[in-house]
Amino acid sequence: MEPLSLLTPGAARSLAGVIFDLDDTVLDHGALTEAAYGALFRLREAGLALIACTGRPAGWGEVIQRQWPIDATIAENGAVALVREPAGLLGGAGLHGGPAPADGGGRVVLLGGLDREARRARRDELVALADDMVRRFPAAAIADDNDQRVTDVTLDIGEHRRVPPEDVQKMRAELRDQGVRTLVSSVHLHLTRDPSDKATGAVRLLSARFGEDPTRARHRYAFVGDSGNDGVAFAAFALTFGVANVRAHLGKLSVPPRFVAALPMGRGFAEIAHRIVELRKNAPAP
């Protein structure tokens, strides 16, 4: 990993957008600071598209998409995405399968591969498996954001609980034997049968909604993250950044981020944003 001082003006100026994780990247233990939120506005003013990419639920994504200065939100580790459509356009579905709520700026639409009933049946099975995991590994708990999820079920292993790493590994091994995919973030263990991850979800969205060539998109968009479930995106995108606390998760990453901030979490995200914005501002026109 290299310090941000080695990022070049050419690399910063070549970007069309920035994709970023939420927990412990933009958020500080779940809290949004003024510095991190302001950094989003500075990146947008610099002409960059902004896409949140999180393991958090689709319900969170709908709120974020309405209130933050961003172009799209990828939720549940790539399984679904939320975008805003101009008022009056038809198509798409609301979070739970019906019409999306409308407002003056257009409605937020959920993009996903399954209909409501198929999602519900798949989640019912995952809920039963998660309940069994919690019963046998009582240090874990069902995460408090599960009611807002549409594709996966999540266990709290580090947000309000502290689950021993060996328990996490045992749970993952048992779930894998039952054909369930698991992803680990800094706070959660995710159970899913969806094949997506943050990289495939991001590239799919960029192709379908932004008109990007899938290969070129990996060079035109940067990714910012901090932990294990960001690893696929660190490997997929050419220009990647980690906030300082990524160092605690390097053992879980096959490919580390290319650049690392000196500061952790939201302050690190603001540091990365400032560097990108300043280089774009000062770079000579192509």
For residue 215, pLDDT over 90 is answered with yes
Q: Average pLDDT of 239-256?
A: 94
pLDDT in tens, 126-184: 999 999 999 999 999 999 999 999 899 999 999 999 999 999 999 999 999 999 999 98
The whole-chain average pLDDT of the chain stands at 90
Least Cα distance to 127 among 149, 160, 96, 95 occurs for 149
Q: Which band of pLDDT confidence, cut at 50, 70 and 90, is reported for residue 39? A: very high
How many CA within 13 A on the CB side of residue 46? 26
Least Cα distance to 33 among 263, 221, 223, 261 occurs for 263
- Structural domains in the chain, CATH included, are 15-112+196-282 (3.40.50.1000), 116-192 (3.90.1070.10)
Q: Considering the entire predicted model, what is its pTM?
A: 0.86
Cβ atoms of 193 and 179 within 8 Å: the answer is: yes
Q: Average pLDDT of 55-70?
A: 94
Report CA torsion sign: 270, 148, 121, 115.
negative
Place of tokens 């941000």: 4
Q: Average pLDDT of 237-247?
A: 97
Least Cα distance to 135 among 162, 158, 155 occurs for 155
Angle, to 10 degrees, between the axis of helix 34-45 and the axis of helix 265-282?
20
For residue 209, pLDDT over 80 is answered with yes
Residues with Cβ within 8 Å of 240's Cβ and at least 6 positions away in sequence, in order, are 222, 223, 224, 225, 233, 234, 257, 258, 259
pLDDT at 56: 94
Q: Which band of pLDDT confidence, cut at 50, 70 and 90, is reported for residue 113? A: low
Q: Average pLDDT of 221-247?
A: 96
